[in-house]
Structure 1
Amino acid sequence: MRRKGPVPLQELADELKVDPKVIIKILQENGYKHVRSRTHNLNREMEMLVRRKIEEQRRQISQDLQVKKQIYKPTQPTPSARRPKKRDDRRRDERQPRRTKKLTKSRTKPKAKEKSEPKKQVDKIIVTGPMSLREFADAIGREPEEVISEAFNMGTLLTINHILDPEMITALAAVFGVDVEFSEAAEELIEDEDKMYSDWRPRPPIVTVMGHVDHGKTTLLDAIRGTNVASQEAGGITQSIGAWRVRKGDYEIIFIDTPGHEAFTAMRARGAQVTDIVVLVVAANEGVKPQTVEAINHAKTAGVPIIVAINKIDVPGADPMRVKNELMRYGLVPEEYGGDTIMVEVSALKRIGIDDLLDAIILKAEELDLKAPYKGPARAVVIESRMDTRGRGPLGSVIVRKGTLKVGDAFWCGPTYGKVRAMYDQSGQRVNEATPSIPVVVQGFEEVPRAGDILVVVGSAQEARERAEEYRKTMKYQIERRIDVKLMRRIQEKLKAGEKLKVPVIVKADTQGSVEALTAAIGKMKYKEIEPHVIHSAVGPVTPTDVELATAAEGVILAFNTRVQNDAKSLAETRGVPIRSHKVIYHLLEELENILASNLEPEVEEVKIGEAEVKATFSTKAGTVAGCFVRSGKITRDALVKVVRDGEVIAQSRIASLKRYKDDVREVQEGYECGVRLENFNKFKPGDIFEIYTRVERARSLTKEE
């Protein structure tokens, strides 16, 4: 019986009796670089690839075994006879004893060794409740800056104290190859969030057409659009909306009209995975070309199934069989060859095979079992945006992912916000609401939104404004952190190894006199741990060439009283090169000193903020809760706790949950009662004292050489 929908990697590993890491390695070696965790779901193509590779490996092992039997004595055990048992034992025990032992071992390493070696990554974490980014980084054995950087690459701007939601925890854990298990308490939180949405129903598939230039991609889109009378009315309007709907019988399909593969990747970069299916257009007379391979890699990286449309079958020299054979080299095996890639032969110009292609898309969509909640606060993805020239202000073309978007809804969208004043469909007609997968143009943004940003409906215009403002502040902070993170990692590695580091500096200024003055001032900056070193100086603006040099040297650029070219600024943000620009030399030197100082390990100080007495204990599904009375100061949700009994500290932990009556709260002040649950400790009893404290990081200052 053919399975419908994706199969969990762990489930396939259990079925094939192999370690999940074997499957992950196979997929990564065959282009699926994004697969890093056993929790990943595999589409049909990935599943068939794994089955084929595992079968080939076992066949090879069997052949090797026969050869060894002829060489070695029958009584001598072979490695291949021992390995399955070892693998089975590991798989059977991987969830508890082995992994627990591994974590314990990593925590008890001598301190001297910890300083010289990076933190050891764990295999699995157990989430018991809300978790800050810092707590998450500690749990997986990574530096917070690494997590911040990866989140930024995913399109999410986070600070070190940001509270991560379950989806973000799962996504970040997958990036670092860590499994996540949510405890009963955490599952309850997820369920509470899910309660916001209801009425789950099938939704139309969202399709992106990709392929090499001149292989007939635009002609194919026009041919598909021509199958729907409603779409013909849109004409040029479809270009402005960026997506359009096609009906085939009782089914509806949404096509995204993207200008190229870069747009496909740009939306993914902000975590806005919109596409369900990619239609790969390949010309029957030309075969696989560089952009074809690029499109395949984009789709595989996104984990999106591919349907191949072999176009131009009517032109001289067309050879669909050759195309199929070429595609097999890139992991796309046709169904007739035992694979799982649907390949349809079409002629977009003569409208041949268009219905077959639409049927194939519908079949794949049914296999994926696409569903979404129709009730709840809407979430949508911006696919295009522009400033309207007819007085309607900023417009954003969006595709709804959850809930139903309605006229009058207040929303925030990345750094901007607004209220839905009006919505338009692909034909330019006004609509009052949009359900999951449906594309509409939204009027009501305060500023032009960015493609890939998430539109989130909230309860009021005030809340929308506050969320957008918070995003803007975080974005500014995050961009600065991301620019410095590469340099910071290198500096910290050198400092941990006990080396004195010279940080490469490129100096640009308005005059030669300014260049010499700034270079001389930098030369006098001598510190014990770290010091700057000018590797290039010149008169003129900061150019892309300067950025390339700074990238190669892993250095910084200082610009005094001169401009930074726009293309250099964009390249610097992409490459992670810090550029500091000022019109006062003193301010520029301060910036450089701050860059150097920020990379020194901060001093950590414990600050007591409150004290509470345990009055009673209660058992709940999530664990034991201490009923406390706050005697002094306050208790905050993100605080640390020392449990004191008879004047001695018997445990140190973090607060897992903080409640007053049945409500979760951020803090409880002196003189009030509350319920406290701690992480990994529940043996408290009435009379125990909770000393509440936080750790404050204080920046170290640079020490000048004498």
Structure 2
Amino acid sequence: MLRQPIVAVLGHVDHGKTTLLDLIRQTAIAAKEAGGITQTIGTTEIPLETIKTISGQILNMFGFEISIPGLLFIDTPGHEAFISLRKRGGSIADIAVLVIDISEGIMPQTEESMQILKNTKTPFVVALNKIDKIQGWHTHDESFLKNYQKQQDVTKEIFEERFYNVVSQLSHRGFESERFDRVQDFKKTVTIVPLSGKTGEGIPELLAILSGLAQQFLKGKLEKTEQSAGMILDVKEVTGLGTAIDCIIYDGKIAKNDFLVLSKPPMIAKIRALLMPEPLRDMRTEKKFKNVEEVNSAAGVKIAAPGLETVVAGSQIRTAKTFEEAEMLLNELEKEIEEVEIFTEKDGIILKADTLGSLEALINIFSKHPIREATVGNVTKKHVISAEANIEPSNRAIVGFNIHPSEEVLKLAQDKKLKVLTANVIYHLLEEYEKWVQEEKEATRKKELDTITRPGKMLILPGCIFRASNPAIVGCDVISGIVKPGYKLFKDDKPIGEIKQVQSQGKSINEAKIGDKIAVSIEGPTVGRQINESDVLYTDITEEDYRKLKKFDKLLTENELKVMEEIKAIKRKYNPRWGL
């Protein structure tokens, strides 16, 4: 027996995800005689009879024979909600609708949504929204194809241009796509349904395509099994019942008085009540709940049971008829967690996520980086202490997906000079972490560079001898590179002395660069003997410093690199193997 496929709606902000979901519900409610819709917890079920009433002509046009009992839409649109619906190995959503504004095309959140769908191997249909906004578009109460034929040629041209712009954008991202009525092979081509979330054009086509694709390609996945499986969407207080959990049941069935088995925290509780909303006859109807004896997948349900106060949203649930069976299931869930979670003492980053499915995705994405620990749940002081034990600076980081560390934990991490990165888009975390690693490496290299004598060249200006010796004080022009107090100087491979102080306009400075006119005090030489007016002096780089500078060449300016080559040439005149 088949269950309804679970449908998620994703897309960029303001591209019409919520409007589209609302319109799908309204269209289904309008078909009252066919059963309308059933609004369950966090989901909307559209039965097959309703789909046939709305989309019968389209189903016949494609020759789709539908035996799935309907479609179950997840009420919360967007990729953040979709990510939280991860189970081990993928998403609990069977198919997705990717909403794209026909005029704006693919935008950043569309990209993110596509990446998520690709990684979770979730098939999707593109809902090309806002066709009613196309200049000159006229809406008629008919199917998209009939409406399209009634448009003026200039309007059709604008439509086709924008349509194929999106096709091209999808192609550049590795997805071949085409309009639903032009698709030759539904398995190899992403189907695009042009529609309007405002006027309802294209809704019958979208429901037909979703039903047909689910029937053809997801049949094996939709076969019901005996074992129930679900995920917690939310944890809420219910008057008269205490703490209850909103769940989506994606396999099997659950019944009142079953033993509820939860993964986070590991626990077993007896189901006191199963609550479902009353059937929705009107979008304005306030939700009222009724007690039910059992719930079949796929459906959303509110479950009341004792001891749910510490339960975490995103956790997996199972049910059993006996306590012994429940204990076996609990062991299986704990084993599943053990198989994914990582505990080591080695140098590496710490990964944290809200659910096991999210953690698995996080581990996969960070697989190129060393991982010290990867666990489900929030960041605690224990994780901060563990991260502090890392020796490699780039591993002194805690990366969390969909979690919110306390101020106390964040303060402790800051005190320990650890990086805590959190986000609700996994790919952002990887980007942010790698960006931070680069910044840290650059900061470390700059620090190391500060311990090395950098290339510099200066000219002693005529008429600017302020003291002949002990120390010699002369006016100089920095011709190239950098000069600093503490740097040793040379001329013609002969050591001259060490810079004691650098002044500019009567004030001491820590560094002088190309073009600066400065006064320099030099310990060692005497003017008229070792140095004279118009002499060119170089910073005295050691061979070891030279080799290090070669490593840091990207941090040196062009003029520093040039003067470094001059220094090398002078040194090698006297020692051909210098710096090798």
TM-score computed with the length of structure 2 as normaliser = 0.47
Higher gyration radius (CA): 2
